[in-house]
Structure 1
Amino acid sequence: MSDDAPETTGAPSDTSVPKRRGKVRKRHTVGKVLLASVVVLALATGLSVVFLYRHLNGNLNVVDFSDQLSDRPTKVAVEGPKEPLNVLVMGSDSRDCDGCNIDNLTGGGQRSDTTILFHLSADRQRAYGISIPRDLIVNRPDCTDDDGNTIPGATGAMWNEAFSVGGPACTIQQVEQITGVRLDHYVVVNFEGFKGMVDAIGGVEVCIPEPIVDPAHQINIEAGTRKLKGTEALNYVRERYVVGNGSDVGRMKRQQAFIASMAHQVITAGTLARPDHLVRFLDAATKSLTVDKGLGNLVKIAELGSEFKDIGLDNIQFITIPQIPDPADPNRLVFKQPQARQVWQKIANDEPLTKRLSEDVISAGNVPGSGNGGSGNGGGNGGSGGSNEADTQALEDAGLCT
């Protein structure tokens, strides 16, 4: 059976396709914004660029996990002006850091409720952020701890167990072994720094259809379209039990919408052009990041950011890996096959995802409830249509505006 036609949401990725009409999209190179804004800051305040650069570099936590990884998949050679890039982003849900235990949950140590694999195509015309549910049941492979000791794998383990037993290295090993996708970079973000980044840009706009009231976790957020920041923003991206259908998949969709809205605001509103906002944003971001050697300083991070310069907001898309309830436990999930396997194969081979494989798309150009053309597969097609019935239901299940 042949696959469907490639998904066409967003700006054209093939120069042979006629350019769509409408307002010319603003494109900002992250690297240029970074350098220009730091220079402006130095001129305006007299601060030393070198001092600021060293300070921000000193915030980064650089860790090399390469010695802890084994049997790594071979990266597929593809046609394109550059190599495709695969970056694994893990959210560290530790309650140990200052201000992180905001929801009265107990237990120390590292946990990760957020795993997103970002893929940047070789032609630099599309980017996917693929979320993997924490409740997904998998066969966890063996991995290696900091001392070189083997951490035994497990059958029928929850996805986020890898982070708990072995930290980022075990999650990286799990991703590569299960998906067959070779990772180029990895980033761990803690929630304290995430909160600082949100506050530095003045909050992130979200649309909340109904009040979120969860006394058990001390969460109370009013309905409406407005900017969230501080503890309220953290509560929003963490809340699960009283929003939508209460599922972890719904929470992931809200996190995707929040990140998409954040990207939209930073790029279109020129947020980082303000020196005061820039320094606060970079200070919070660098303090919150654990990165590999390939992203070990600001220049390298800026270079990665500049790779996105020709991708329109509509082509920065977030999806959830296809999954279904676990037949053995309806409170858990398993990969939906063959769709999930086909997603990983297309990512490994740097091929566009089809509509059938990328349902319920959220793009940075069409954030749910933003009024910019809707969301999902319909709204993402150049912003020219609304969501279909299935997409609307998915947004409602996630507690998002339609």
Structure 2
Amino acid sequence: MSDQSPSDTPAPRRPTTRRHRRAVWLTIVATQLVVALATVSVAYFVHKGWNDNIAPGETIEHKVEKTLPAGVSKKAEDQPLNILVMGSDTRVGKGNGIDGENRDGSQRSDTVILLHVSQDRSHAYGVSLPRDAIIDRPDCKIDGENVPGEDGVRFNTAFQVGGAQCTVQTVEALTGVYIDHFLVLDFNGFKDMVDAVDGVEVCIPEEVDDPKHDIYLDAGTQVLTGQDALNYVRERYVLSVTGDIGRMKRQQAFIASMINKVFSADVLSQPGKVNAFLNAVTSSIQVDDKLDSVGKLFDLAMEFRDTGLDKIKFITVPIAPDPANPMVTLVWTDAADKLWQRIIDDEQLGKDFTEGSIAADSGVGTEKTDDDDKKTKQDDAADRAAAGLCV
């Protein structure tokens, strides 16, 4: 029998409890570490995948020297930006051909927008350049080779003969505006971007029944995806009574509606949609050498973080029917020179150019004009109808 009394019985050994707690904490820490490593690994491979999607960029061969407005710092982050955005209308590849043109593999810039971002990033405006405008195309330097210019040709022939590089040089030569970056998006990439956000809402004023070009769209407010979205922004025989002019307005409105969708909580709160959208973008773009990585594109996107959607406007360069062929082609008017100088001087558009502009916060693919717009309701309705938008 033990000589110890009950009070002398040793207490349970505490080290066992401490070991248990240590084991629990080690498990928690290890689990967190595994989750962290897994997250980092996923982010790395996703990021690497996006980077692998982007082809090495080209160095822009400039036609003009960069000049800065008075008082603007020489630091890149403190300077205004000019970005030339192009939509490639190559018909090669499944889903790219909708009108029977250019099936030989040649390309033309179906959509061109010169985007100017102000030095203080408080506002931006995109200027649509009609593909059917008649211009004198300058000589272009492509990979050290000279591509001869040509007078009296359509603007989009620059892309046909020399791709993005020649288009940038053509814009610089014609406008005097220094282009900091360029970005080209192909048709299939456009469709993938729209599908990644589950479609974009538009308002179509009338039914489109165009068997010749295989385009069929219902009238009314609706969400378009895939090929229907592409058909909508490219259709020029039913919705656009003014041809290329109306189509540009419709493209501006669609871009505004898509921007709204991308920045909506429905998209930003869902990593899967964000991933799909960025994968679509990086898989279908061609850029200059200053934008050819996810990091560089992210840095560019951050330049817009303080720019409200209502401060991003879309307009069209001042144009008129071409006297030589008024039913088919266009010409830039003298007012265009004033617009180019405003961009060079980093000035806001002013009422003379914002009248009838479309803001990036416009909804349902329709126009949103400034509050002080003096146009009559009848004029607004005419513009909207001409652009193939709901009145």
TM-score (norm 2): 0.84
* TM-fit CA distance, 1:46: 8.6
* TM-fit CA distance, 1:246: 4.5
1:132 is aligned, of 129, 132, 140, to 129
**Where does residue 138 of structure 2 map in the other structure?**
141
1:313 is aligned, of 305, 309, 324, to 309
1:90 is aligned, of 86, 93, 97, to 86
- 1:354-391 per-residue CA deviation (whole Å, 9 max, x = no partner) reads 11123320011224666xxx62334xx6xx99974333
Mapping of 1:251-270 within 5 angstroms? 251-270=247-266
1:292, 1:365 → 2: CA distance? 28
2:102, 2:161 → 1: CA distance? 17
2:212, 2:173 → 1: CA distance? 38
1:360 is aligned, of 356, 359, 367, to 356
1:58 is aligned, of 49, 52, 61, to 52
Count how many residue pairs are aligned between Structure 1 and Structure 2: 351
RCO greater where, 1 or 2, for CA within 8 Å and sep 6 or more? 1
1:250, 1:195 → 2: CA distance? 21
| Contact 1:376 1:387 survives alignment (8 Å) | no
1:285, 1:47 → 2: CA distance? 22
Gap runs ≥5 in structure 1: 1-40
Mapping of 1:383-398 within 5 angstroms? 388-398=377-387
Instruction: Report the residue type matching 1:51 in the other structure.
Output: F
**Where does residue 169 of structure 1 map in the other structure?**
165
Mapping of 1:87-236 within 5 angstroms? 87-107=83-103, 108-146=105-143, 148-236=144-232
* TM-fit CA distance, 1:132: 0.3
**Where does residue 71 of structure 1 map in the other structure?**
63
Q: CA RMSD in A?
A: 2.3
Tell me the secondary structure at the aligned position of residue 272 of structure 2. Answer: helix
1:189, 1:377 → 2: CA distance? 30
**Where does residue 334 of structure 1 map in the other structure?**
331
* TM-fit CA distance, 1:164: 0.6
2:239, 2:302 → 1: CA distance? 36
Alignment pair present for 1:239 and 2:231: no
Tell me the secondary structure at the aligned position of residue 221 of structure 2. Answer: strand
TM-score (norm 1): 0.82
Judged with a 3 Å threshold, the aligned counterparts in structure 2 of structure 1 residues 53 and 246 are, in CA distance, closer, same or farther, namely same
| Contact 2:129 2:317 survives alignment (8 Å) | yes
Tell me the secondary structure at the aligned position of residue 284 of structure 1. Answer: helix
| Contact 2:137 2:150 survives alignment (8 Å) | yes
Judged with a 3 Å threshold, the aligned counterparts in structure 2 of structure 1 residues 308 and 387 are, in CA distance, closer, same or farther, namely farther
| Contact 2:254 2:365 survives alignment (8 Å) | no
Gap runs ≥5 in structure 2: 1-34
2:295 is aligned, of 293, 299, 306, to 299
Tell me the secondary structure at the aligned position of residue 394 of structure 1. Answer: helix
Judged with a 3 Å threshold, the aligned counterparts in structure 2 of structure 1 residues 152 and 283 are, in CA distance, closer, same or farther, namely same
* TM-fit CA distance, 1:272: 2.8
* TM-fit CA distance, 1:395: 1.3
| Contact 1:377 1:387 survives alignment (8 Å) | no
* TM-fit CA distance, 1:329: 1.1
**Where does residue 32 of structure 2 map in the other structure?**
none
2:307, 2:142 → 1: CA distance? 38
- 1:39-91 per-residue CA deviation (whole Å, 9 max, x = no partner) reads xx98998962111111110001232143xx25323322344571001000011
Mapping of 1:366-385 within 5 angstroms? 366-367=362-363, 375-378=368-371
2:70, 2:111 → 1: CA distance? 29
2:364, 2:320 → 1: CA distance? 23
Quick one: percent identity of the two aligned structures?
A: 47
1:388, 1:343 → 2: CA distance? 26
**Where does residue 14 of structure 2 map in the other structure?**
none
